[in-house]
Structure 1
Amino acid sequence: MNNNWMMKAVPTAIVLALTSGQAIAHSPSLASPASKQTTAYAVEDKPLAPRDLVKELAADNAAQASVRHLEGTTITLTFSKISLSQGAVLEVSSPSRSEAHRYTSQELAAIFKRYGFFNAVAINGDTAIVRVVYPQGATPGKGDSAILAGYAVSLPPKIHSEMDFSHRRSVSCLKNSHPELYQLSDAIGMLVTKKFNGGTGWLLGTGNAVITNHHVVGGKPEEKVGLIPGQSMWFNYQTKECEPKSDPAATLTEIIKIKLDRLLATSATGMLHDWSLLRLDPLEYREAAIKPIFGGLALSARHPINERVSLIGHGLYKHDRFHPLPDPVQREKRAMLVDYKGKDCTINRSSDFGPDNYASNCESAGGNSGSPLFSMLDDKVVGMNARLGEDRGSEGIRGDYILSQVQNMVIEPETAVMGTGHVKKDYRDFAAFTSPQTFSFKASKLSFSPLVEGRKFTHKSEYSLLKSVAQDNLGKEVPVIFRLAQQNACGVSNLEKTCSKSGPTTLSIWIDPQENAASVPQGNSVVSWLPIAVKSNGKLIANQMLHYQYSQYQPQKSPFNQKHTVVKKTLKSTGENALVKLIETDNFRSGITAVRPGEGPLAETPIDNIFQDGDYAGMTPLVAEVVNQKTGKKFVLNLRAGLINSCTVVVSARGNWTPMNSSACKKARPGVNNFTSGSVYALRQDNTHLPSGRYTGLLPLMVRQWDTRATQPVELALDYLVK
């Protein structure tokens, strides 16, 4: 095998792999200083040698970097400077793009003007992908920069307490015993501030208002209005069942992360009056239907003494309360109805901190700051936890006092809203040419309804239309029109028609570029939510929350410019299966990513995102727009990408594009000439939808070597014949 890479590499530091306080960096300038790992706290700050992502643009419109910390459970990226031209955006996501968060240049400019730094929303898992994206055809301005300075990582806890915490039950345990309180608890979320530190917050009343402790989010009394950089509220963070026997992390529900927008008011008076009033991002709050799905709590004007109460929040579980360990696996929502002695939780006296405070035997822990204290008589909030108390008890701010402070700033603070729950969340990338995104439901006789207030379906003969409002590259709100159809035992139809036959249903959602050309022009992209209630025989089975990005670009135009050394390849088929080889190397850690959303994975391919069928199983899916040369009509060509190397050849002829681990591979095949060969395949079985004719197109790709950090742009010309 050729010991050289298949093409001249353009070296650039793209990926950092990090573990337990030290960086495994293949460029000395990128190595972070070693830091002593603590065993008492699970959040650690990791500085990095500053790197300007704008200077690492791999194409005209996108630069990408990856930060990984082995065993990390969340990654929060920190930027010391961001200055981007109008229309450029910063995007932080997980490798599989199961979650992605985007920030416009205007939003970032306002944050840096006020704070001088920026922390992105924490990404679950051990890897965060960050991209700087410019509109198609645009180039960075002279002063543009995006300097990644470090990250914070939350790690599995190292200290476990021998104290008994069996009285702190998963909130799912309330489903049968206290159904109304369980439903109201949907309004409680985990606040993630600065790193993974934070506490608990809860939606109040019938509008966009969140209450928590001042010490959770900070702020000064004179700062009645202020942006909150990179802070978020995590809804639906709980186990699916009561006290799961398996690892709680494996039974968590689908978390909904919504950005916090502003600090509206705060007491900022230390322990005496420890409260703050916040607002969620208005567009996300509205378009994700947060109030209809998660509801809101009601403050009580009463202050009950020796009356049963319960404390619900995101406190730490099974750890020494004096050594808080903010590990996300340990922060799922829990309820305390009794203390550690088995006695009912009550407000048993006034606090020594003053008449506006209370003391309770109900236990709290790190992360319970801001947790609501409910009356068990009427399920209204009678207090908010603020600190630890005597004998494993807690203390906090009286609910009637908080009501007196916020009642003129909150819509109906004494009125509760019951959310509907039943969240099913997905993130999807849409492009102008991509095939419909599908969602499967096992139940039959389904009906669908929009969850955003005032939205209705417009039904056509074979599909329905639904409007969403999204944020574009400039930070403006623009309409996006979706098409939706259902396929069941009765066939394909719009969402108005019902099917009396039993059987599963597939919901298809797609975007017609012509219907959105005015609001999302070429070179632009938008992000938002599309929530839909799904019922079977009139009973709610899921609130399908689709978090989406829609990108409008010219698929036939290359994103690379003349300053890049671009390798050009051609994949040509004369009607049969065809392939083109892109990688020929002795390096095991070679892989490929797409350059533009909608065409394929933008990072390492997750194992569950591969083909499973036949001789070509285990391969990565790619798609490209192609044009019928006779009719001029546009279609989608489905492709597969796969690796063959001296490891996978033993078990399977091909593998997906996930980079191999070289040490494990050599151990599996000692004494074998090591090699990696990578190809893109066009298979007839994947493209039976194409009519007869010749199709041409272009697919830009980025080939990477993960240990040398070398990258190589590739333009793959497509010439596909259907006889």
Structure 2
Amino acid sequence: MRHPADITRSAFKLKLLVCILLSAAVLPQVNARPVLPEQTKEGDAVQHGARQSLLQAGRGARSGPYAAETTIGTPGVTSLTPYFSTIKLPPQAYIEVSDPAREEVYLYGQKDFGHMAAGELFAPLSISGDSARIRVVYPEGTALRQQDAVVLEYWESPPVAAKKSLSSFSLVGDKDDRELSACATAKKPAWHHGSLASAQFTAPGCAGTAWSLGNENFIVTNFSKSQTQQSLANGEVNFNYITSTCQAVPPKQVLKIKPSKLLITGGADTVNRYSMFSLDDFDYQHAKVKYLFGGLELANNRPAVDTPLYIPQHGRVEDSEGRRHYYQTIASSKGNENCKVVRNDGFIRYNCDTSIRSIGAPILSQDGSQVFGMHYGGDSSVNTGMTSENLWKALNGQVSAQQNQAVVGQGQLELAQLNISQQQAFATGQRFSDTLSFTALSGRWLAHEKTYSTIAAASQDIQTGKTYEIVYRVSQNINGQPYNLQQAVAGSKTLNVEYVASDNPNLSSKGPHKSWIGLTANTADGQLANNYLIKINNTIPGDSNGGSESLTSPKASISGPAEVERGPQGGLLSAEKSTGDKLAYSWQSNSKLMLKPRGDKVIVTAGMEVPLGAHQVDLTVTDSQGRSATASHTLQIKAPPSTTNPTAPVARISGGQASYVDGQTIRLDGSGSSQYNGSLNYQWAASPALNMGQTNSSIISFTAPSVQKDTRYQVTLTVKDPANGKDHRTSHTLMVKPKESDGSSTASAFQRDVAYKAKDRVSHAGGVFECKPAPYAGWCTVRTDIQMRHYEPGKGINWSQAWIKVK
């Protein structure tokens, strides 16, 4: 999931109550200086677009499951939120809102918009980026009715350019001492607690900071009693809207959650106003919001003057080009000192910097991270908030002392989203390395099969809101080889999720569902490596195509030449063997190759700046239902005859050792030889002669011969450049020794990447070990590229499954 939408605000002409924070309310005057709420100082959103009746526009114009489809957006905006004024659909139909690449997809059914009354709006979660695609989906067998209607009233985006300088807001003095949270928490890790528990919050007409309270589903912010359940339902809470570095770059691991119930809200005309609400219960529970982001403890007394403070907040920041953003910052200092409480007079007064949309932020103790107040507003001399004492008096009828207990969030989160729309969907999660052990964070283990683990995940029907269990297969994949999540394998890998209908024979609901799979990964010494959270949109959870889409997925295929010469002529690649409904074609290259697409074909040319050798051309095909498939084609770029490089190649041999025991595997690698005109020809020879098998490949592997005494061999590699006819040779000398009765004195040193076979003996870790016979012999090889230590003789915990210690 990419970074979320910035704050939106509604200006809809129909009846819509907005947050009182947009009024001209002021605080009681202190030293004859009024304190204004920050939202009065700058607009929150830009409204775009004209009213569109989507079903009327699409009626009769399309075939297939999408009765209507439209794209909204404009270049330059960072996010957008559509607003619907009418949605009348049959119970089985739903709305899909996504970015064009479908990296961010949200499905909405009757449980979301079925309660809409006349004059009300429905706003889905925002979409990051400068465009969004809206689809109205009619599953197979569901007819478009005459009374059906979906009306897109308009869409909103945050303003890109700042109208006022930051100094126009609640900065104390002339300098902004806030830091991006990644920088502040690197110096003070204890502040992760307050940072993770604070979130960006928006609702129509209101924008600010909210925070998670205690150990239950409570979110607190600074709203008034005019905030309604309807306007809250059109809001969103963005957790982890925090940059990963000290640079103002878009956060990538952001979790968006819809609010649920408005629990309590306070006064309308003073700083002592507040709202507390809950999050969507299904997402809160199964996306593990409290575990990942924690909750803050609210103090029931006011802090003393000079108490050091820090304030995690989503006030405005600017990037290097002057564009405004609302990435989380922390205010903890003023000048060269801690920022602090400067006065207590019924409100909490402090000199910590804030800005627009910092309103609602928790005011925290630097020592214990208790909440001492909630930010409201201020001016250039002092900032002001509601005291924790008054806030606790307002909330303790809803929150018990047992619920008002801090929870420290775990953080360290990787997010992925999968969209399953075929009978067996294979989807890729986040790439990671290291040997990890996994435990289920959300969902429960059912079994660990050889190549996958089964997890039963809670899944919510988006039409009815009912929750079922759906079984998914989850695996870790290394170079195309799947493993279950119980196997502690190392190397660069991906988490993969697969849905198989036969695993769910008794699922009664056939409609579209959403699920969460959460995993905790620990290192070999038991330390938390990361948390992985995977959101799944499943449009075919039943054992038939009860969702909406065809079971036939697109397939990508590329045909064409294997070699292309530098120059203007180039070569033609074709995707005509690709399959799928109404395919769209996208061609790309990972190098400086020039591509001239022509639908399902592309002309590839290589200029003089393109290096000789192998290059890759990628094809992505997308069908009418938005599903994609990819294929790759390798092209060897060679020089034309008139421009052949006259430099001779250089032969190199690696991987060999000085001595071997008869019967041991010998592996020699010539792939590191230098080339100047493309591919080389390889030829291996030995003196005395050896049976080396295939001798014209870059790498050879063969068995040391049986000898009666120590015998020296010289292996020679000759490489030839076919473009200029020049060659070069090098050699490697090795000794083959006879195998003694117990093999211990002639056992060679253990090496990685050697393909050991049954009864091969090696010396390692202070002993002599023999490789077990089939089916274990294949386990004796330890590959460098994946750092698999499980079967290294004498080391790790599982070596005895592959080796026998003989001495």
Determine if the TM-score, normalized by the shorter chain, exceeds 0.5: yes
How far apart are the structure 2 equivalents of 1:117 and 1:270?
Answer: 27
Which amino acid in the other structure matches residue 510 of structure 1?
E
**SS of corresponding position for 1:401:** helix
Structure 2 vs 1, CA of residues 300 and 138 (structure 1 numbering), >3 Å: closer, same or farther?
same
* TM-score (norm: length of structure 2): 0.61
CA gap 1:53/1:467 in 2 versus in 1, 3 angstroms: same
- Offset, 1:129: 1.1
Correspondences of 1:285-300 after superposition (within 5 Å): 285-300=284-299
What is the rounded CA distance, in whole Å, between the counterparts of 2:589 and 2:618 in structure 1?
Answer: 10
Please name the residue that 1:396 is paired with.
Answer: 385
Match of 2:263 in 1: 264
Give the letter for the 2:192 counterpart. Y
For residues 540 and 165 of structure 1, do their structure 2 counterparts lie closer, same or farther at Cα, with a shift above 3 Å needed? farther
The structure showing larger relative contact order (alpha-carbon pairs under 8 Å, at least 6 residues apart) is: 1
Q: CA RMSD in A?
A: 4.3
Query: Following superposition of structure 1 onto structure 2, how do residues 295-694 of structure 1 map, counting pairs within 5 Å?
Result: 295-306=294-305, 307-318=307-318, 330-339=325-334, 341-351=335-345, 355=346, 357-388=347-378, 390-410=379-399, 412-439=402-429, 441-452=431-442, 455-474=444-463, 475-488=465-478, 492-499=482-489, 502-519=490-507, 524-537=511-524, 538-552=526-540, 579-580=575-576, 642=600, 644=602
| Alignment-derived partner of residue 177 in structure 2 | 167
Using the alignment, how far apart are the partners of 1:267 and 1:647 within structure 2? 68
Does the residue aligned with 1:67 lie in a helix, a strand or coil?
A: strand
Q: What residue identity is the alignment partner of 1:349?
A: R
Work out whether residues 619 and 655 of structure 1, in 8 Å CA contact, stay in contact via their aligned partners in 2: no
- Specify the alignment match of 1:705 in structure 2: none
Decide which of 50, 64, 68 is 2:52's aligned counterpart.
Answer: 50
Deviation at 1:95, TM superposition (A): 1.2
Q: CA deviation at 1:296?
A: 0.7
Alpha-carbon deviation of 1:207? Answer: 0.9
**Contact 2:589–2:616 at 8 Å: present in 1 too?**
no
1:386–1:543 distance in 2 versus 1, CA, 3 Å: same
Q: Say if 1:42 and 1:157, in contact at 8 Å, map to a contact too.
A: no
How far does residue 391 in structure 1 lie from its aligned partner after superposition? 2.7
Number of corresponding residues? 553
Cα displacement (A) at 1:71: 0.7
The more displaced of 158-167 and 146-155 is 158-167
1:119 equivalent to 2:133? Answer no
Matched with 2:641 is none
Alpha-carbon distance in 2 for matches of 1:118, 1:505: 40
- Give the match's secondary structure for 1:214: coil
Q: 1:206 aligns with which of 204, 215, 235?
A: 215
Give, in whole Å, the separation in 2 of the partners of 1:557 and 1:544: 27
1:157 equivalent to 2:161? Answer yes
Q: Indicate whether 1:129 and 2:102 are aligned.
A: no
Matched, 1:59 2:53: no
Tell me if the contact between 1:93 and 1:128 (Cα under 8 Å) persists in the aligned partners.
yes
1:119 positional shift: 2.0
Give, as a single letter, the amino acid of the residue that structure 1 aligns with 2:516: W
AA of the residue aligned to 1:46: H
Query: Take 2:555 and 2:240, find their aligned partners in 1: how far apart are those partners?
Result: 47
Q: Which has the higher Rg, Structure 1 or Structure 2?
A: 2
Contact residue 193 and residue 230 of structure 1 kept, 8 A: yes
> Closer, same or farther in 2 for the Cα pair 1:350/1:115, shift >3 Å?
farther
Q: Distance in 1 between matches of 2:352 and 2:413?
A: 30
How does the TM-score come out when normalised to structure 1?
0.67
Deviations, residues 292-322 of structure 1 (Å, cap 9, x unaligned): 1111111011211211111111011259xxx
The DSSP-based 3-state class of the residue aligned with 1:400 is helix
Residues 96 and 107, structure 2, Cα contact 8 Å, conserved in 1 = yes
Q: Bigger CA drift: 272-281 or 528-537? A: 528-537
Partner of 2:805: none
Secondary structure, in 3 states, of the residue corresponding to 2:444? Answer: coil
Match of 1:78 among 77, 83, 86: 83
Letter in 2 for 1:92: V
| Matched-pair contact (CA < 8 Å) for 1:234–1:258 | yes
1:556 CA displacement: 13
Residues 558 and 631 of structure 2 are in contact (CA less than 8 Å); yes or no, is this contact kept in structure 1? no
Higher mean Cα deviation, 255-264 or 153-162?
153-162
Q: Secondary structure at the match of 2:253?
A: coil
Shift of 1:268: 3.5
Residues 89, 148 of structure 2: 8 Å contact kept: yes
> Which residue of structure 1 lines up, in the alignment, with residue 16 of structure 2?
none
How far residue 169 of structure 1 moved from its aligned partner, in angstroms, is 0.4
Letter in 2 for 1:460: E
| Of 239, 242, 256, the match for 1:238 | 242
The gaps in structure 2 that reach 5 residues or longer are 1-40, 168-173, 562-572, 623-627, 635-807
Letter in 2 for 1:374: L
Q: Take 1:368 and 1:162, find their aligned partners in 2: how far apart are those partners?
A: 12
Distance of aligned partners of 1:273 and 1:648 in 2 relative to their CA distance in 1, 3 Å threshold: farther
- Native 8 Å contact 2:515 2:537 kept in 1: yes
Measured in 1, the distance between the counterparts of 2:597 and 2:279 equals 40
Structure 1 residues not aligned, in runs of 5+: 1-38, 320-324, 561-568, 583-591, 621-640, 660-679, 687-723
Q: Secondary structure of 1:106's partner?
A: helix
Q: How much has 1:581 moved relative to structure 2?
A: 9.2
> One-letter code of the match for 1:469?
A
1:281 Cα deviation (Å)? 0.4
Letter of the 1:331 partner, please give it: Y
More displaced 10-residue stretch of structure 1: 101-110 or 272-281: 101-110
Distance of 1:172 and 1:530 partners within structure 2: 27
One-letter code of the match for 2:418? R
Equivalent in the alignment of 1:689: none
Question: Structure 1: how far apart are the matches of 2:555 and 2:189?
Answer: 61
SS state at 1:450 partner = strand
* 1:569-609 deviation line (CA, Å, top 9, x unaligned): 999999x9985499xxxxxxxxx9978xxxx99xx97x9xx
Which amino acid is 2:233 matched to?
P
Task: Tell me the CA shift for residue 50 of structure 1.
Answer: 2.8
Distance in 2, matches of 1:336 and 1:469, equals: 39
Amino acid at match of 2:181: V
Change (3 A) 1:155 1:520: farther
Q: Quote the Cα distance in structure 2 between the aligned partners of 1:539 and 1:83.
A: 51
Amino acid across the alignment from 2:468: V
The amino acid of 2:310's aligned partner reads S
Name the amino acid aligned to 1:152: E
| CA shift in 2, pair 1:423/1:48, >3 Å | same
* Paired AA for residue 468 in structure 1: A
Q: Deviations over 1:34-91 (max 9, x none)?
A: xxxxx97462112413323365153343221100211111111111211121122122
> Could you list the per-position Cα deviations for residues 656-711 of structure 1 after superposition, in whole angstroms to 9, with x for gaps in the alignment?
6799xxxxxxxxxxxxxxxxxxxx9998989xxxxxxxxxxxxxxxxxxxxxxxxx
Q: Per-residue deviation at 1:521?
A: 5.4
Write the deviation string for residues 624-653 of structure 1: whole angstroms up to 9, x where unpaired.
xxxxxxxxxxxxxxxxx8454999999999
